[in-house]
């Protein structure tokens, strides 16, 4: 049997900010297959820049990005992402045009993230974790099959943090027989305990990725480093 195709490969990416700050230099990596993959690294190591390049928000100076499935970014702060006043209207906004009646896909997307029945709820009444799950539902309803999550739990309390991670873990488990391409996620974190749930993780250092490792093994390695060196 063939190995499942990689949803993402980047080759030789180079990016400098207009003020000359180098963020990535000859950065190459490939997701080993569908699944939940994590990226760690100190402050300024280029993690957010890499996600923005993959999402197409920035143009690389050199290098190529081969994304086999539609990507979508999920930011650290859902308030920077959610645009409309209500859960249902937010999801309708992200639903591709021409899909027919909207109610069923909106309800399905809400149910997928544990927010069944929330269509008429105002967004300001949601908890931080619920807002983050709505941001994930918006990405899913848009047709994204590669979620690029930039420290999605950094602003959440421990309980909501666990819920969001468990949700992404479950969504990336991809039961066989689904008609759409499998869902994958590239999740940036400074919280080393989150590495326990991923399919593999790597460390970015000054814009250069290391090798894929098992999450718990990378966690052990990084916990042995002086505080601040590993993940900032």
Residues of this chain that interact with ligand ATP (CB under 6 A) are: 17, 19, 21, 23, 41, 43-49, 232
From CA 217, how far away is CA 179, in angstroms rounded?
34
- Give the tokens for residue 158: 């421990």
Residue 99 binds: one of Mg ion, ligand ATP, none (C-beta under 5 to 8 A by kind): none
- The Cα–Cα gap between 11 and 53 comes to 12
> What's the Cα-to-Cα distance from 83 to each of 65, 78, 93, 95, 174, rounded to whole Å?
28, 10, 9, 14, 29
Q: For ligand ATP, give the closer residue by CB, 49 or 130.
A: 49
Q: Compute the distance between CA of residue 29 and CA of residue 31 in angstroms, rounded to an integer.
A: 7
Residue whose CB is less far from Mg ion, 46 or 182: 46
Site string for Mg ion, 31-70 (x = CB under 5 A): -----------------x----------------------
User: Residue 2 binds what, of Mg ion, ligand ATP, none (CB under 5 to 8 Å, by partner type)?
Assistant: none
Q: How far is the CB of 107 from Mg ion (least distance, A)?
A: 34
Identify the three-state secondary structure at position 111: helix
Encoding tokens for residue 202? 């790597």
- 153 binding Mg ion? (CB under 5 A): no
- State the minimum distance, in angstroms, from the CB of residue 224 to Mg ion: 23
Task: Catalog residues that contact Mg ion under the rule CB under 5 A.
Answer: 48
């Amino acid at each position: 049997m063939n190995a499942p195709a990689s949803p993402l490969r980047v080759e030789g990416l180079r990016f400098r900010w207009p003020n000359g700050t180098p963020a990535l230099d000859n950065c190459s990596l490939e997701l080993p297959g569908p699944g939940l993959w994590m990226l760690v690294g100190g402050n300024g190591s280029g993690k957010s820049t890499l996600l923005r390049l993959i999402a197409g928000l920035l143009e690389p100076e050199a290098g190529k990005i081969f994304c086999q499935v539609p990507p979508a970014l999920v930011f650290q702060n859902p308030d920077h992402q959610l645009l409309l006043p209500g859960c249902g209207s937010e999801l309708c906004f992200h639903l591709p045009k021409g899909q027919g009646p909207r109610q069923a896909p909106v309800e399905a997307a809400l149910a997928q993230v544990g927010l069944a029945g929330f269509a008429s709820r105002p967004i300001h009444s949601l908890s931080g974790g619920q807002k983050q799950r709505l941001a994930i539902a918006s990405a899913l309803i848009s047709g994204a099959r590669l979620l690029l999550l930039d420290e999605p739990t950094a602003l959440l309390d421990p309980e909501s943090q666990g819920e969001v991670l468990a949700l992404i873990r479950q969504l990336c488990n991809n039961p066989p027989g689904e008609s759409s391409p499998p869902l994958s996620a590239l999740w940036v974190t400074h919280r080393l305990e989150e590495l326990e749930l991923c399919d593999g993780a790597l460390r970015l250092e000054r814009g250069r990725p290391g090798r894929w490792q098992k999450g718990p093994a990378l966690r052990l390695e990084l916990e042995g480093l002086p505080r601040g060196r590993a993940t900032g």
